[in-house]
Amino acid sequence: MKHATDFPVLACIARDILAIPGVSISVERLFSSSKHTLSDSRSSLTAESASKTVVAKEWLKKGFGVDVNYLDNISTRN
């Protein structure tokens, strides 16, 4: 704040920008993972479906739902 009185507007801008915390690695990893999940072939997903897909993928990677039998009530016959 040595030159804040000389450059008050620049000092305000610097305070606002420098107060923003750095991006954590987990957020960067989430965006990277999302890039692979939300590819051009899945461009018809709604925002809600895309969000649920990304969250589910992250949960599965962390081991949540390992003991859940997802396909118990699913039949492949019509």
Q: How many domains would you assign to the chain?
A: 1
Check the CA dihedral 42-47-52-57 and report its sign. positive
> Helix, strand, coil: what percent of the chain each, to 5?
55, 0, 45
pLDDT surpassing 80 at residue 4? yes
- 2 occurs within a structural domain: no
Burial 61-75 (b: 16+ CB within 10 A, else e): eeeeeeeeeeeeeee
Assess if residue 70 is contained within a domain.
Answer: no
- Condensed to tens digits (0 to 9), the pLDDT of residues 35-68 reads 777 777 667 778 888 788 877 887 777 777 777 7
Per-residue pLDDT, 31: 72
The residue with greater pLDDT, 56 or 21, is: 56
Question: Would you tell me how many other CB atoms lie within 10 Å of the CB of residue 12?
Answer: 11
In a domain, residue 52? The reply is yes
Average pLDDT taken over every residue of the chain: 75
- pLDDT on residue 9: 83
Instruction: Please indicate, yes or no, if residue 51 is contained in any of the structural domains.
Output: yes
What's the domain range around 18?
A: 8-64
Confirm whether 3 is domain-assigned.
Answer: no
